[in-house]
Amino acid sequence: MALIGLFVLSTLTEERSPRDGLPYSSFLAEVRAGRVSQVRIEGESGRIEGRRVDGSEFTTQGPSGTVPDADLALLDDEAVARDYAEAPGDSGWIGSLLVFLLPMGLLVVLFVWMSRRTQSQISGAATFGRSPGRVHTTERPATTFADVAGYGAVKDDVSEVVDFLKNPSKFRDIGARIPKGVLLVGPPGTGKTLIAKAVAGEAEVPFISVTGSDFMEMFVGVGAARVRGLFEEARKQTPSIINASEIDSIGRKRRTGLGGGHDEREQTLNQLLSEMDGFDTSEGIVVMAATNRPDILDPALLRAGRFDRQVLIPLPSLEERAAILKVHCRDKRLDDDIDLAVVARGTPGMSGADLANLVNEAALGAVRRGDVAVHAGDFDTARDRILMGLKRTSLALTLDEKQLIAHHEAGHALAAHLLPLADPVHKVSILPTGMALGITQQLPQGERHLYQRRYLLDMLAVQLAGRVAEELTFGDVSTGAANDLAEATQTARRMVSEWGMSARLGPMAWGAQGPVFLGEDLVHSRDFSEQTAHTIDEEVERILAEQDCRVRQLLGDQREALEAIAGALIEHETIDGATVAALARRGDGAHDDVVVATLSDPVILTRRPYAALEPECEASNGAHPCQHR
């Protein structure tokens, strides 16, 4: 339609625009001069086309209508041949019709386009309040409890919810009421979403999955409308389960003063509170939510009648880590030298997601080596890569730096081997890895849930041993102990101010931030005087000085073993715990035997009895009443 309109307009413009040619008076003058041979007159328009005697052509515009008789007589006197023709377009009804219909057609097209656009905007606004949940039915395959390794108590709790939805009469006969809400709480990567998916696979009821961020939009009232739509969808399919991941995005405490108010979030939270336990209660609907920040949730959301039950999903234990590794290794080709129980012992503090990443990194390492199966060394390399980063093979160390790093790591390794409560040495390396120029890895003999004071003191001594070894060997210290000093100082300060391990200050907690489970500490407060702060600093200094003196005496008595371990590191760059134990025997006498397992076969290491390591440090005499025990 637009192309036709442009064509018609161009045609009309061409017809009505003036043509280049002779003025009519000049045309008559040339006729009188005998230079015109013939003309062609076009009807009512008065347009005249002519040809001269020399063959050139011209045009002119004569009077509209009939040419004057005098001019016609002049043409006859000069023997100019003339002809007549109809003006083009004067009687063309198609052009006239197009000129009439073109504006009307454009108006119709514009009206239709605007009406459709308005309807799409109205329908789009109507969908803002539609439920964002994705419905999973029993016909769709899903994860089951068989895919969740460990966490037996957690599976029992959520299995009770599934059992109620399958057979509610069993609970109603005895008068029991199932919790309306189950809150899964735990650190990131522990499997909260996996357990929710397992509930979806086990329950023979519709399962509606949604995330907290699905309710938030830039328009006020949309979040509340979506909450209403979500529960309306669940009521249509009662009994049903609503799984809301990351509930903290809409369940944050109201008017906390942190980050300002947010009316849209508060309206969404109010609607959620009303739907879960308001005037219009929802029977047969169980809400399962997951978060790793329960400390910021609104108290009204956590009260009885809404989220009645909180299920803690902690980091996996040793047995659970072994089971999780077995699940993730089901589709991997493993060599016979791999013992997953030993690998689990070497991964304390790792979550289920971390263990899945460890197995994948080990498989990738086997592919890079061109092997057809994953070996135990691949797990060892993968753990080092995850915990410390890539090895910096391009970093070239001078001989002096290499000797300094070797003695530093030898000090850590020897102290960890000799101190009775320190974790056994697994591996020592002077190859730059990640941000570290050398590493000393220790693996615990078992799971630890509490840390005694003597264990913490041995840990401080091991952390300070690298700096002491540098000073004993070279008579100077370097910047390589920066991270060791930072960690040791933090541990000693917590021993004094939080754990009551200072006899001078007594069993009190000074400046504790409270039981913040996972969230970041936003405000650091101090509820003690400057004098108490000075006393805390003195106690931290005393503890570190005692352990520095203690490990200085220990390494000073074992200089031969220290030099032997450092020499082995310079020669081989990486040694294991068994080598450290063998080299430590050179500078020691007979000792008690203690079995310590590493990632390879168990190794018999030697330990000195604790009583033989009591320090006689100046820092623990006179000025401070608390002697090291």
Joined tokens for residue 315: 């980091």
Burial 4-20 (b: 16+ CB within 10 A, else e): ebeebeebeeeeeeeee
Q: Can 616 be counted among the known catalytic residues? A: no
Structure tokens at 279: 């005037």
Q: Tell me the C-alpha distance between 389 and 378, whole Å.
A: 15
Phi, psi of 134, deg, nearest 5: -105, 125
Residue type, 434: G
Starting at the earlier edge strand, list the strands of the sheet with 36-42.
57-61, 47-52, 36-42, 81-85
β-bridge pairing 592-596 and 603-607 = antiparallel
Residue 181: φ, ψ to 5°: -140, 140
* Residue type present at position 217: E
Whether 187 contacts 351, CB under 8 Å: yes
Query: What is the distance between the alpha carbons of residues 125 and 275, in angstroms, rounded to a whole number?
Result: 23
Distance CA 272, CA 136 (A): 21
List the one residue out of 49, 27, 52 whose CA is nearest residue 37: 52
Report the alpha-carbon distance of residue 24 to residue 343 in Å, rounded: 109
Radius of gyration of the chain (CA): 45
Q: Chain-centre distance of CA 239, in angstroms?
A: 34
Task: Copy the structure tokens of residue 361.
Answer: 């990194």
- Nearest CA among 365, 368, 387, 385 for reference residue 376: 365
DSSP H or E segment with residue 81:
strand 81-85
Phi, psi at 283, each rounded to 5°: -95, 140
Residue entry with tokens 């979806």: 200
Query: Helix or strand or coil: residue 22?
Result: strand
Of these residues, 264, 320, 409, 539, which one is catalytic?
409
**3-state class (DSSP) for residue 301:** helix
Catalytic residues, by residue number, are: 409
